[in-house]
Chain A
């Protein structure tokens, strides 16, 4: 898969996290946010972070491989 496509997928996932963060903030302002709401949105943010890290590491490894040739 081209890197740009992987980045687009990450952007899509991050947009969902951003939207959910705003929703939880609104719930919190109305004193209706549960702990589970914060847990869920942080879990999703963590997932995007892990995918981003994996992509960065994959590209770094490829860089190192090319440099070693």
Chain B
């Protein structure tokens, strides 16, 4: 591959200045394009409305919540934030939901099935919203951001503005895009979250700020971008996608590697030894690292790997989960969960 003259001039100048570690490698780098989900642009106006606390409390009362539980929620909402307090209230009122969320928090492979059951059985939009939120988190924690995004799209389309989880969902949506990686779509979503939810927990807001900075740095590091793309392609291959769009992504990795090889060769030739840096990277993180603190629902850090727990389960337990998926789920969730558990099985064999 021919190295553009402008690049040669730039590298020469930078090498001469002794600022090798700060070389800006020009160009946009590569990101995968195969089988990316369709994402609508961020709307100019926020689709989120302030939580109607009275409506939420009435919905919980209709589910069997007591007056005391609802009163306690109002007090806790002031203390720990409405999202966490609301989720806690729903867990108290609905034992099946509590079991499902507990399973998710413990990294139990049953969690996706249990949450999907809650979702399918629920007539209340509030319950559906909370089940979708936790299901999306389970998928995201299992390195399946595409499936998480699909569930969050359903949340936005069907259960918007009924639960105190809206701010968490807006954050999770951006996070899912970042993990795919659809960096150019993720950054405006994080910014929108910050603009639309000035009262969201400080923990989420500071993490969103941090993620924007990380993603902007990541976008400037061509080697990290390449690794991100390969991660996406690994997931495609796990999902039995080997078609032309995936092959095209793989070809772009070769083209990018050719370009980087030429660039580094030139830098090495102009110095006495190997270059000590690839320039733009300031070592951006490949994953989010959330600040500690109160105010959001559960722990947003990576949980114990579900794949790790799926492996040691007895065959009979795994078969029972799959049988439950096939016998109890409506078609749209059956397919989603079958694919999810197949992927979990493959991840475990790595």
User: Does A3 contact B278, Cβ atoms closer than 8 Å?
Assistant: yes
What is the CB-to-nearest-CB distance from B143 to chain A, in angstroms, rounded to a whole number?
A: 11
* A residues in contact with B237, CB < 8 Å: 21, 38, 41-42, 45
* B residues in contact with A15, CB < 8 Å: 254
A39-B349, A62-B21 in contact; A55/B250 too (CB < 8 A)?
Answer: no
Nearest opposing residue in chain B for A60, CB measure: B283
Show the binding face of A for B, using Cβ within 8 Å. 1-4, 7-8, 10-11, 14-15, 17-18, 21-22, 24-25, 28, 33, 35, 38-39, 41-43, 45-46, 48-49, 52-53, 55-57, 59-64, 66-67
Nearest opposing residue in chain B for A49, CB measure: B230
What is the CB-to-nearest-CB distance from A19 to chain B, in angstroms, rounded to a whole number?
A: 10
**How many residue pairs bridge A and B at CB < 8 Å?**
130
Interface size class of B (residues with CB under 8 A): 35 or more
Looking at the complex, which one of B233, B243, B254, B278 makes contact with A56 (CB distance below 8 Å)?
A: B278
User: Does B233 contact A45, Cβ atoms closer than 8 Å?
Assistant: yes
What is the predominant secondary structure among interface residues of chain B facing chain A? helix
* B residues in contact with A7, CB < 8 Å: 257, 260-261, 264
In whole angstroms, what is the CA distance A40 to B268 when docked?
35
User: Which B206-227 residues have a C-beta within 8 angstroms of A?
Assistant: 221, 223-224, 226-227
Q: Is B302 an interface residue (CB 8 A)?
A: no
Contact with A along B240-259 (1 / 0, CB 8 A): 10110011001101100110
Q: Is B17 an interface residue (CB 8 A)?
A: no
What is the CB-to-nearest-CB distance from B274 to chain A, in angstroms, rounded to a whole number?
A: 4
Looking at the complex, which one of A24, A25, A53, A64 makes contact with B227 (CB distance below 8 Å)?
A: A53
User: Does A60 contact B346, Cβ atoms closer than 8 Å?
Assistant: no
* B residues in contact with A17, CB < 8 Å: 250
